[in-house]
Amino acid sequence: MTPPDAVGATSVLAELAREVVGLRREAEVLAVALETGRHVVLEGPPGSGKSTLLRGLSRLSARRVLFVEGNAELTPARLVGGFDPALVLEAGYSADTFLEGPLIEALRGDGWLYVEELNRVPEETLNVLVTVLAEGELHVPRLGRIPAAPGFRLVAAMNPFDAIGTARVSQAIADRLCRIAIGYQGEDAERRIVEQVTGRSGELPELMVALVRATRDHPDLRIGASVRAAIDATLLADGLTSLREEATPTRDTLLDAAVAALSGRVTLEDGSARTAEEIVEELLDRLLTPPSRPEREDARPDDVPGAPPAGAPPGGDGATPGGNRHAGRRPAERTFGRDLLAAVHEDFTAVSPEVGTLDLDAFEALMREDADAALALLHDLARATDPVLRARARRLAARLTIGLARSGTPRRAGVRRLTALPGGRREGDLDLERTVDRMAGRRRPEDSDLVVRTWRGAQQSLALLVDHSGSMRGRALALAGVSTAAMMVASEGRARCSVIAFAGGARVIQDAGRPRGQGAVLDDLFGLHGGGLTNLADALRAASAQLRASPSGRRVAIALSDCLATAGTEPAGALSGIDCLHVLGTSAEPDAVRAGRDLARRAGGRFVLLDSVASVPRQIAPLLAS
């Protein structure tokens, strides 16, 4: 075994510089950190070269790297390893019957354990790593103590933009790691990478690098594409060009390549109602068209739903079928002119002094002063006749709503716990010890003997019922939006959830079986119009149908309503298939409160009278956790 300090940092780095474009400083820090026995976390967006760097370094210093993909399914057992059930039954617990996981391999054999996406690793699993880092050894029941070999290193990687499905890495682990931040490389470096990997040069790699870089600044994208996408796009475009026997790639060929390479790699901004394909197409057209008409940006921004993208190329292919693509997505609805908005909201002219403007500073000031009034105004602006203002307001409303929901929904409420569940379940890690106990000496386990450890909390399905009878404007819409977002945020990745809007009848906005983006759901919600009647019973039946379609678990419905049913049958009679119904009261009228309380009690749920928009997530978090 080579002791760690034998790594000749200087020669390795010189070698590395030939293979890895750029990242010289980061490579130096990483090499020295590992050489001096430190554990490291590499933080950077996907495709910024984290793995390339580590692989290069490990090969040159002749170290094994054990790659572990961090995700929600990474249980301690998968990291550490476990006893082979069949062998245990034959030979009992011993080192021979233990199948070592990557952590033990790394501990024993001087390897580097590389955990990608560290912030997606569940807390229970992270705790195992903390012990190893703290004690320099691992204790496995019935196997014993495994000390870390001198060359053992933990290298973790994480993506700083990642907020969905990630938990904050705890201080205990952060305190034991050196952090190396790796950003995107410069345009030149990225172009060199693409040229080096693809063997192509000239305009095509240049265009694809520019395209990929543009995705990182696009307002509708939270995470842009990496240089890997540029590599793929270049190769695809090149291949398609020869397949289609084109002298130079046409726009369509470039688009096909770009969409295939990029659209799955970018992450939409919270609340964006657009698709990744649309954004890739827009950016490509922008790059293909010389910037000749700057004034267009203002007159007709690219974010107006249904409007032709600004700067659509003049070529035949580029003429935008403005109406067609979006036609039928949502029928035209009532919009509000500026006079009306000014008459209803005293702050309107401050927030939108001119046609097409939304003054963010003024809006934020209003938010600080009176969040409810600000949100009510914003939701009316999301219905403005002015298409530019409407698009901006919608985007802001969706983002703010999801932001509010995220900040107000405690993580604990949604954290899943590993729990041992007896009785023949087939999913999860086998809890061998308990299973053997239950077998009580029999040779073969029966189904009911099996104990598995699995995630609890995944087994809940939720249905949110949004009442849009009466005037669905301003505050009511803001309440509905935040409640929906809070539920979607809390159930991210663990519960199936459906959203149903109802007035005289019920309409499924989000089907539990076919989840859509949060942005699209909110966009639909913001487009809701008041109907006259409140038919709670029909809505409950629709919720029940959604919940019944869920495979298993507790079926919880949450109704956002004043509960004063004016149509349909008695709501309490429509509760079949719903295990629990919580009621979020929207009206403080004594009759409404009584009706809501009554219904919730009969349905085994709780009644919460919503007070302000901003506190909605906090108010409903306990309902989502139970």
Partner 1 sequence: MKTRAGVLRELGSNWEVIELDLDPPGPGEVLIRFVAAGFCHSDEHLRHGDIVPRFPIVGGHEGAGIIEEVGVGVTRVEVGDHVVCSFIPSCGHCRFCSTGQQNLCDQGATILEGCLPDGTFRFHADGQDFGGMCMLGTFAQRSVISEMSCVKVDKDLPLEKAVLVGCGVPTGWGSAVYAAGTTPGDTVVIYGIGGIGINSVQGAAHAGASNVVAVDPLPMKREKAEELGATHSFETAEQAHEAIQQLTRGVGADHAIITVDVVNEDVVGEAFEAIRKGGDVVVTGLADPTKVTVQVSGAMMTLFQKTLKGTLFGSSNPMYDIPKLLGMYQAGQLKLDELVTKTYTLDQLNEGYDDLLAGKNIRGVLLHDAA
- Sign of the CA dihedral with 573 first, then 575, 577, and 579 last: negative
Nearer to partner 1, 306 or 445 (CB): 306
User: Least distance in Å: CB of 327 to partner 1?
Assistant: 6
Nearer to partner 1, 85 or 356 (CB): 356
User: Least distance in Å: CB of 309 to partner 1?
Assistant: 10
User: Least distance in Å: CB of 392 to partner 1?
Assistant: 13
Instruction: Single out the residue of 520, 344, 417 nearest to residue 167, CA to CA.
Output: 417
User: Least distance in Å: CB of 349 to partner 1?
Assistant: 13
The dihedral formed by the CA atoms of 444, 449, 455 and 458, expressed in degrees to the nearest 10: 110
Q: How far is CA 489 from CA 264, 500, 557, in A?
A: 21, 17, 16
User: Least distance in Å: CB of 308 to partner 1?
Assistant: 5
Nearer to partner 1, 319 or 343 (CB): 319
Instruction: Single out the residue of 278, 285, 273, 282 nearest to residue 263, CA to CA.
Output: 278
User: Least distance in Å: CB of 333 to partner 1?
Assistant: 4
Nearer to partner 1, 307 or 362 (CB): 307
Nearer to partner 1, 79 or 310 (CB): 310
Nearer to partner 1, 64 or 529 (CB): 529
Neighbours of 162 (CB within 10 A): 17
User: Least distance in Å: CB of 511 to partner 1?
Assistant: 23
Nearer to partner 1, 335 or 612 (CB): 335
In the chain the first and final C-alpha atoms are separated, in Å, by: 53
Nearer to partner 1, 390 or 496 (CB): 390
- Sign of the CA dihedral with 109 first, then 112, 117, and 118 last: positive
User: Least distance in Å: CB of 371 to partner 1?
Assistant: 26
Assign 475 to helix, strand or coil.
helix
Q: Which pairs with CB-CB distance under 8 Å and at least 24 residues apart come from 444-447?
A: 447/423
Nearer to partner 1, 293 or 548 (CB): 293
Nearer to partner 1, 387 or 553 (CB): 387
User: Least distance in Å: CB of 297 to partner 1?
Assistant: 12
User: Least distance in Å: CB of 301 to partner 1?
Assistant: 11
Alpha-carbon gap, residue 334 to 356, rounded angstroms:
18
User: Least distance in Å: CB of 269 to partner 1?
Assistant: 24
Residues that bind partner 1 (CB under 8 A): 293, 295-296, 299-300, 304, 306-308, 312, 314, 316, 319-324, 327-328, 331-339, 355-356, 384-387, 389, 529
User: Least distance in Å: CB of 324 to partner 1?
Assistant: 6
Nearer to partner 1, 51 or 357 (CB): 357
Alpha-carbon gap, residue 491 to 289, rounded angstroms:
42
Q: Which pairs with CB-CB distance under 8 Å and at least 24 residues apart come from 328-337?
A: 329/305, 330/524, 330/527, 333/383, 333/527, 333/529, 334/383, 334/529, 335/383, 335/384, 335/385, 335/390, 336/380, 336/383, 336/384, 336/385, 337/384, 337/385
Alpha-carbon gap, residue 620 to 626, rounded angstroms:
11
Q: Which pairs with CB-CB distance under 8 Å and at least 24 residues apart come from 294-303?
A: 298/356, 298/388, 300/388, 301/356, 301/388, 301/391, 303/219, 303/220, 303/274, 303/391, 303/392, 303/395
Nearer to partner 1, 167 or 340 (CB): 340
Q: Are strands 417-422 and 429-430 parallel, antiparallel or unpaired?
A: unpaired
